[in-house]
Chains A and B, each alone.
Chain A
């Protein structure tokens, strides 16, 4: 288990993997809730175009990638604002165009670009620059989450009402696009452009199945992203497969298990309700619309589906303390 840590390259890859896993995991919460899974796919394709053009011009990999993804994000935002066009069309047009430019440049201009490493990630290729980029993007993303969590959630939930209620929703959309672009770029070395899309969807989709609040979903998807990255990197080392596929396959496996478990749990719960009804048809439990206080309403009560505490969301952070009076007021 600890043998790979004897290698400096693996330690660097592991650090980068933890950062990339945490970022892509956290981002996936918003990607899933916004139903914008396609954005990661599209922006990742833009990276290849940017990297190819950048290297043809003698620039660093990250310079080309960042310019291409930020340009893509801005163009997607601009095209999507055209009346009658939706974001999926904008993403499809903009990112595939930039991807096509990259493919054409690779065919025409000879470069040192290792296409396979860019496409699938390269454990051996993680250097100090990659670590610095991942750390920089991670800190920026964390700041965005801390300072803009509430407007981001409001905009994600109900953009029109958020706008009327004074939230700068266009700015939030732009911030989200730029953060997504930055996370995608920072993830290129570890995940590869073809597999980034999965990394910014799978953790959030998995967490969505077992959580009932945005805050918990965010925390869980971040942990899942980190877990998949660490496990995937070890698998990559031991099985000698590219790091991107091993990380994505680990996440996909967890997703499949959670889908299975939740399906079985739901079925068992349904059977229990039917048995209860059959035994005592006169007994009618409280319904959601009955207005009564149910177990789930009590602070600290556990979610019957997810088994999570009812008040773990940052938005609900003071709840239990308030009711019990066990924690002094937050100032």
Chain B
């Protein structure tokens, strides 16, 4: 929470033509549409009064404390949570008992069995199991498509490595490739920056920004507010309900963060960058930076910038 966000690297536009035909123009229906939703597991309610629209081609980050319902929201979009009330539609179709088609899912790295005996190419190929033929092996066309996708995501030369032999960032890229392999139009990522080093985090977010520029809709959950501030154009605060929704500058304010996280946080601005730090002692003492309140924010006057 107290680390600063790395400068956002320029995100190249990824050529996703390998995925096959896509919509030429954004269709009228939003990618995600939640209307007055209450949801949870069994009788336990996790989300309530939730209305959210994500248009096609958007890159949106969901932030909130542990237990705020971020993962439940993703499960709700994939028919993995119980809808108590309201309406959920993904890519124009209501979500009922079956997960919607053309949605790719990237799990938290911590939840993946990384020693599982699979090679990177096989991991990607499994992503389209549902529409692959029944026989135990994949077609040459499928292999070529998976290889192209891996190459485009910077994993050329690693097709035959085992998952365990890849770095955290490479593993995330492999899982993004698997999610895209089913010709997904909506990508859901559960805390893609969790448990990775700052370089990997920037790498993963740059990949997502590239996908966004290529026209894909990306919805991710994260605890990493500074990465959100640096890389995402839209942020949704969640704490059982939506606490804020808008650009990082509007959502990452002390008031909104207090209502989302239930604790005080400091928001610093440095040459256009937003940095969120804990209100508790941070190690950034008076000698490290000189902050003066500017409205509800604080502007940093340190000539050296912040925590570089």
Contact = CB atoms under 8 A, between A and B. Distances in A.
Interface of A: 33, 83, 145-151, 153-154, 157-158, 160-167, 208, 211-217, 288-289, 291-294, 296-299, 301, 310-311, 313-319, 322, 329-330
Nearest to A29: B117
Nearest 7 A/B pairs, CB to CB: A166-B130, A289-B167, A149-B136, A288-B165, A164-B105, A314-B136, A293-B157
Contacts of A214: 116-118, 122
A166 B101 contact: yes
B107 interface: yes
Contact of A318 (B116, B129, B132, B137): B137
Interface residues of B, number: 54
B143 A318 contact: yes
Contacts of B134: 146-148, 150
A111 B123 CA distance: 53
A330 B139 contact: yes
B212 interface: no
Contact of B117 (A151, A217, A288, A311): A217
B78 to A, nearest CB: 4
Contacts of A147: 134-135
Interface in B88-140: 98-99, 101, 103-107, 111-113, 116-119, 121-123, 125-132, 134-140
B182 A315 contact: no
30 contacts: A33-B116, A145-B136, A150-B126, A150-B134, A150-B136, A153-B126, A160-B105, A161-B105, A161-B106, A161-B107, A162-B126, A163-B80, A165-B105, A165-B128, A165-B182, A166-B101, A166-B129, A213-B118, A214-B116, A217-B117, A297-B157, A297-B161, A301-B160, A313-B122, A315-B122, A318-B138, A318-B139, A319-B160, A322-B140, A330-B140
Contacts of B188: 164
Nearest to B120: A297
B159 interface: yes
B6 interface: no
Contacts of B179: 161
B142 to A, nearest CB: 9
B42 interface: yes
A319 B143 contact: yes
Interface string B72-88: 00000010100000000
Given A157-B126, A161-B105, A291-B157, A166 B99 contact: yes
Given A157-B118, A213-B122, A288 B161 contact: yes
A296 B117 contact: no
Contact of B182 (A150, A166, A319): A166
Nearest to B43: A83
B2 interface: no
Contacts of B105: 160-161, 164-165
A166 B129 CA distance: 8
A163 B188 CA distance: 14
B232 to A, nearest CB: 22
B218 to A, nearest CB: 15
B39 to A, nearest CB: 16
A158 B137 contact: no
B78 A289 contact: no
